[in-house]
Amino acid sequence: MNRRQFLKDASTAGIFFSSCGACARRAFAQSSAPKRRQVTVGGQRVRTIDIHAHVIIPEATALMGVNTAPTDASVIAPKRFETMDEWGMDMQALSINANWYSIDRNVATKMIQVQNEALAALCAKYPDRFVAFASVALQFPELAAEQLEEGIKKHNLRGAAIGGHVNGDELSNPKFDPFWKKAEELGCLIFMHPQGIPEMDKRLAGRGGLTNVIGNPLETTIFLSHLIFDGTLDKFPGLKICAAHGGGYLPSYAARSDYGCVRFAGDCKALKKKPTEYLKQLYFDSMVFTPEGLRHLVAESGVSQIMIGTDYPFPWSTTTVDHVLNTPGLTDTDKRAILGGNAAKLLKI
């Protein structure tokens, strides 16, 4: 059995390498993996940073009684390094999708602790390949604020990953203010990732994967719109929020929000600026697939607000770097910023 066959069998058998960095590196070095793509812009090497990359920590989800059936792509295993190298991703900012907002305080406390310690250990083991966002139990906003602070100060994590609502409550609800206040005070990035809209499952059932294809960007659009219209972004103007999937539908139909303020003027009286102007203080990943999509996102938000995101290990796009390199109208400086410069600054890399 050669090493490649062993790795293949090991992954089939559910053996994974999250606890053995040296093994992973050794196995990787000896496999016939593709060479690491070195991304350059204008002859200058760029350190690429993927803001949207998933991981699971099986021992943490087990505490919730959930068997996550880890694959060699979902944990830190040779497969991940191979793919990163092939795609030209020097670093991933790891996040875990929040599926723990309905669990009780004791389990949530323990689970988040295990999760954040494991993320910290991964980042410490591979400091040139990973940083990570802390997980937080947002159903307990004060606790979430403490977990964020501990994640940053004790575990060297670079922000937090959150969902788009908490059991149906919008994150603009003032009960979440302690979390937003802490995030603003720490100056860290909050990465928001949607998980669909369960209330719409019936409408979105059937062909096309619509619960994901439409449900996810729609949830992001709703999340961001509430933060804008309910005044959360005015209350905490220093917040740094990055929305997955290019911000969902909001940037592509943003002007309607401004015209909403003509149509429903009373609702916007308290806002400090026009709804579209808030897009220039929000951050987005580049997952809009086409050069025209990226050109438009830049036009709405500005180059400084965009970072590459692959959605690893989900097979949406393998050409994230080329998408940026091939978008007309971007200068070399713009490309460097989107490919890694913006993320390096925000994530303090």
Which residue, 145 or 160, is less far from Zn ion as judged by CB? 160
> Whole-angstrom Cα distance, residue 195 to residue 198?
9
Which residue, 92 or 342, is less far from Zn ion as judged by CB? 92
Which residue, 82 or 311, is less far from Zn ion as judged by CB? 311
Out of 138, 311, 338, 340, point to the residue binding Zn ion (CB under 5 A).
311
Question: In this structure, how many other beta carbons lie within 10 angstroms of the beta carbon of residue 102?
Answer: 10
Q: Minimum CB separation from Zn ion for residue 311, in Å?
A: 4
Q: Minimum CB separation from Zn ion for residue 244, in Å?
A: 6
**Which residues does 187 contact at the CB level (< 8 Å), separation at least 6?**
238, 240
Q: Minimum CB separation from Zn ion for residue 52, in Å?
A: 6
Number of residues that bind Zn ion (CB under 5 A): 1
Which tokens in the block code for residue 297? Answer: 């996102």
Which residue, 126 or 191, is less far from Zn ion as judged by CB? 191
Which residue, 72 or 311, is less far from Zn ion as judged by CB? 311
Which residue, 92 or 257, is less far from Zn ion as judged by CB? 92
Q: Per CB under 5 A, which of residues 81..140 are in contact with Zn ion? A: none
- Single out the segment in contact with Zn ion by CB under 5 A; choices: 7-15, 231-239, 309-317, 329-337: 309-317
CA atoms within 13 A on the CB side of 14: 5
CB 49 within 8 Å of CB 91: yes
Q: Per CB under 5 A, which of residues 269..298 are in contact with Zn ion? A: none
Which residue, 90 or 311, is less far from Zn ion as judged by CB? 311
**Which residues does 57 contact at the CB level (< 8 Å), separation at least 6?**
18, 75, 96, 114, 115, 118, 119
Beta strands in 21-123 (DSSP E): 40-41, 44-45, 49-54, 91-95
> Whole-angstrom Cα distance, residue 318 to residue 276?
31
The partner residues of 192 in beta bridges, in order of sequence, read 162, 243
Which residue, 216 or 257, is less far from Zn ion as judged by CB? 216
- Single out the segment in contact with Zn ion by CB under 5 A; choices: 31-39, 145-153, 157-165, 307-315: 307-315
H/E segment holding residue 302: none
Q: Minimum CB separation from Zn ion for residue 193, in Å?
A: 5
> Whole-angstrom Cα distance, residue 119 to residue 157?
8
- Single out the segment in contact with Zn ion by CB under 5 A; choices: 259-267, 269-277, 287-295, 306-314: 306-314
Residue closest to Zn ion when measured from CB atoms: 311
- Single out the segment in contact with Zn ion by CB under 5 A; choices: 56-64, 130-138, 156-164, 308-316: 308-316
In single-letter form, the type of residue at position 180 comes to W
- Single out the segment in contact with Zn ion by CB under 5 A; choices: 117-125, 133-141, 207-215, 303-311: 303-311
Q: Per CB under 5 A, which of residues 178..207 are in contact with Zn ion? A: none
3-state helix, strand, coil in the chain (%, to 5): 50, 10, 40
* Residue 219 interacts with Zn ion (CB under 5 A): yes or no: no
CA atoms within 13 A on the CB side of 140: 18
Q: Minimum CB separation from Zn ion for residue 50, in Å?
A: 11
CB 234 within 8 Å of CB 272: yes
In single-letter form, the type of residue at position 280 comes to K
* Residues near Zn ion (CB under 5 A): 311
